[in-house]
Amino acid sequence: MSTPEEKKKYMDEIEEALEAIRGGLALHRGGVELVDADMETGVVSVRMLGMCVGCGFADMTVKDLIEDTLVNTVEGVREVVAVA
């Protein structure tokens, strides 16, 4: 079980990594929002925004860009899932 301080630090690390991705998504008038992150399972939930919603490449963006980035930059992240 994590403390509120540990959870905040974890969420902040994820937000920092997502910030590096947002610029590229914005070029396509899209975006990504952090919804939640479970430190115990390593699952991060994100919501796609703007033109990413309904885009045929959204699933690939989540797995190949967002998940790859987070798994390789934030300790403990194992998977990223998109939520509505």
Has residue 1 got a pLDDT over 90?
no
Provide the pLDDT for residue 16.
98
Provide the pLDDT for residue 2.
84
Query: Residue 56's CB: how many other CB atoms inside 10 A?
Result: 6
The whole-model pTM stands at 0.92
CATH architecture of the region 4-82: 2-Layer Sandwich (3.30)
What value does the mean pLDDT take over residues 44-72? 96
